[in-house]
Structure 1
Amino acid sequence: MNQIYQHFRHEERQFIDQVVEWKENVLNQYSPKLTDFLDPREQEIVSSVIGEHIDVKVSFSGGVEDTERKRAFLYPDYYQVSEEDFKLALFEVQYASKFITLQHRQVLGSLMSLGLKRSKFGDIRFHNDTVHFICATEISEYLSANFKEIGRAKISLKEIDSYQFIPNKEEVQEMVTTVSSLRLDVVGAAIYNLSRQKIQPLITNGHVKVNWKVVDSASFECQDGDTLSIRGYGRSKLTSVEGRTKKDRVRIVVRKQK
């Protein structure tokens, strides 16, 4: 286990232990395991834990090819995986789009207000007035019967096929900069062109996430591969840390949402 732990942060150990338990259950019971939706960091951990294991394999699906959030399917090596194994439902939100504008946080907040966990939902996408989302099929009937409002707006759901789902058109730009340290407030300030005085309250108030988890400590140490997001400022990925310059600053390469 220590070999696995050393590649990840201490706070990720609980999830690593959960993945190990899933793997052991597949091995011992000779039956597959379907997880809830995982963020990309969790998917990376699952892939690392399962690794090149001879007897247990893993596949991921989020409903369409370019989704961010996906369910993992762990299975014995002899099992033939199909898309049906992932048990996914895709919906379009129908509403009075001429009079109402919906935002991601409103849609997700209304879904969560039904008493459902975030892990039961995959990607939520917008294009013009169209809103699509993906969920686990085990909650699809409940949603169809109970998801009737977003805020004060009356809505209804229409199930759609995967080819109809809004494609991911996210544009990113690469930037290279230097920072005095890899503290979260320092790195975030450099990426988003903010002062440390401005970014620190965003961090302490829970508006900043690293690898899809809220981090409220400005001194949190960033690493290669970390994904950062600041509410209202977008998302970026620290693709590489390239050592120190002659002036003893750290050179970083970042991919940032346009």
Structure 2
Amino acid sequence: MTKPVLLDIADGIATITLNLPESRNPISAQETVDALVDALDSMNRDLDVRVAILTGAGSAFCSGGDLKSIGQPGGLGGGDPVRTPAQYAHNIQRVPMMFQTLEVPVIAAVNGPAIGAGCDLACMADIRIAARSAIFAESFVKVGLIPGDGGAWLLPRIVGYSKACEMAFTGDRMDAQEALACGLVSKVVEDDELMPAALALAKRIAVNSGDAVRMSKRLLMRGRELRLAEVLELSGAMQALAHTTVEHKDIVAGLVARQQSKLTPSS
């Protein structure tokens, strides 16, 4: 049986791949959600992991929900309306909640269409790089639905309220260049350069202190919700911990030693 999600870890970099290319990597099935949440949790608990790349197998990043099963018995929205909120909470809504707990930075390497919940999944990552063939759409209204996976919270924080409204109300598709222009992605590369570009960025992150990177992400995540005074207080507490880490002390010692060697005249 094909694993719906693959996890590979090497040299402090985790690669998480949605692995249902024949159906364009939908994420609404319970087994896929479970596998994705488990992969994210596993790499987050591995303190040797410093950064992660999220991508899709085949020609699509993620097609969102599987329309064949949505609304059917056993599928999302396929039962008693009173139970639908619980269905969502135990299914796809576990994904954004898991992302909120991650201390490891995540780079979304968007290798093709990211549609509906797939667009929102890309938004759950910290950094997004798009292949030139990537397509984005907050397309729930096109099938008479609303973003049930946190898109209404995620999208305005990335592209701004007005652009988020345009995307959500029209459901229109945007190409990679428009996504770059509105800040949905930070970089667009040729299709065959996507994973090398994502890996190069991951390596630039992974060379830094793992403790500092994790704390920096935690601080940035909390900073979206806190007042400045609260962020400053939290920053002070985290900095107190950072000063005690072995990596910090070793880095500072190395920098001081290099500075002293430059100042010492040669005999």
Q: Does the alignment reach a TM-score above 0.5?
A: no
What is the TM-score normalised by the length of structure 2? Answer: 0.23
Q: Which has the higher strand share?
A: 1
Structure number with greater CO (CA < 8 Å, separation at least 6) is 2
